[in-house]
Chain A
Amino acid sequence: MSPALTPAPASAPRRLRHRRSVRRLTAGQLADFRQSIEAAQSIGDERGWQSIAGIHGLPLPVSCVHHRELFLPWHRAYLYMLEKALQERVPGVTLPWWDWTANHAEGIPEAYSRKRVDGRKNPLHDSPIQPSGRERSSQTRTTRAPGPPGQLPSAEELDDVLRNPDFFTFQTQLESIHDGVHVWTGGTMESIYTAAYDPIFWAHHCMIDRAWYLWQLRHPGATLPTSLLSRALAPFPLTVRDTLDITQLGYDYAASTAAAGGPARG
């Protein structure tokens, strides 16, 4: 039988991984996530934190897509690339999301705001910035200057945006909310050039990606113009079409998850 006629092997069901709210991670899930970030921050090549964070802004070229039609697909691909890199460090970890419409009194979630955890530096609190990623030479680490917690977006604001049946109107209004959270967080997050070095950037964008997913569920007939579907999301090896179904990227969104083992084989 020629290879072309070989029947495709029955594919084993692929197990989706769940992204969860950072406020609902179990202690073990949070510890694994911290470990994966710490491990990525210790790698100096293209698998590491500095290289991946640098794709967004500095060092040039600025590859991120803002204020343009591919804002959501590009950032979905970007999250996917970091998540895969983290899973190479700690299998099974996923990016958590920061629901900035809830727990306003807390502001930055505690998982990201604590400087130290169990006597060690919290890798979610801040990160070094490589010399070529700095806007000025003194900017060696990420910083934040959060605004008043009451000024974070409300659930009603997000819901108004999710009601838009048209993708571009939805995306434009969601991007404005997104921009507002960057402004609110302040410091490194306020600049396109440096934002992705701050670990909270990824939790914020995970929330944005989740909002797009919720919009997709709410408007199942709505999609992007076909002219955009084959557009490349440079520098990632993905097109817009590749990003439309998150289950094909191996993840789903869950408020929280917990599991228990089944009976052992005899």
Chain B
Amino acid sequence: MAERFMSDPIELPPASHPFERADLIFYGIDHFCQSYEARVFFDPRGVSHGADSTHRAFVGRFFIFGHNGCFGDAGHCKVPTERDPFDLRPPHQLEPALRILTVTDAVRGLLERELDAAKVTVTAHTAGKASDDVLVFDTVRLATYA
């Protein structure tokens, strides 16, 4: 888990490839945690954990409504690693979540600065306070749509 996640540089689309929309897609978000707000920034410089939507690098936020704790017996909250294709029951409650943040203007701004890659910084906040034990996800991807 991370207090302030910073990605490796993510390649930006070449300026010669115009797009109508750009999304940051967060895959594999764990939600076995307290509910939280994630604030997302391009360019980590000067992004403290308290940075908010007024920060120049802020590009958006997403929220996770979490399962905080388990009320079942042992194994109740363990997500099966494999699923029988004939299993018609609903999937496990804790299958990871996905969030899509539209960041079109922010990506265009980076391209205007002639950048070819950007790091994504994410901070997490629970009940209005910085939190270091909720933010977990597998991958963040930048997708553009022409």
Please choose the segment from B8-16, B43-51, B57-65, B115-123 that sits at the chain A interface, where 4 or more of its residues have CB less than 8 A away.
Answer: B57-65
Q: Which residue of chain B lies nearest to A169 when distances are taken between CB atoms in the complex?
A: B100
Task: Give the docked Cα–Cα distance between A190 and B98 (Å).
Answer: 19
Q: What DSSP secondary structure best describes chain B's contact surface?
A: loop
Decide if A247 is an interface residue (CB 8 Å cutoff): no
Residues 84-124 (chain B) with a chain A CB within 8 angstroms: 90-91, 93, 95-100, 102
Decide if A172 is an interface residue (CB 8 Å cutoff): yes
Q: A176 to B62, Cβ gap below 8 A?
A: yes
Residues 131-147 (chain A) with a chain B CB within 8 angstroms: 135, 145, 147
Q: Which residue of chain B lies nearest to A192 when distances are taken between CB atoms in the complex?
A: B67
Task: Give the docked Cα–Cα distance between A141 and B23 (Å).
Answer: 41
Decide if A60 is an interface residue (CB 8 Å cutoff): yes
Number of A residues near B (Cβ < 8 Å) is 28
Q: Which residue of chain B lies nearest to A186 when distances are taken between CB atoms in the complex?
A: B127
Q: B67 to A180, Cβ gap below 8 A?
A: no
Q: Which residue of chain B lies nearest to A160 when distances are taken between CB atoms in the complex?
A: B102
**Can you spell out 15 A-B residue pairs with CB atoms less than 8 angstroms apart?**
A60-B71, A60-B72, A62-B67, A67-B96, A173-B100, A176-B99, A179-B63, A183-B36, A186-B127, A190-B35, A191-B35, A192-B66, A192-B68, A193-B71, A234-B90
Apart from A68-B95, A193-B67, list 15 A-B contacts with CB within 8 A: A65-B90, A66-B65, A66-B97, A67-B29, A172-B100, A173-B102, A179-B63, A180-B37, A180-B61, A183-B36, A183-B63, A183-B126, A191-B35, A192-B68, A193-B69
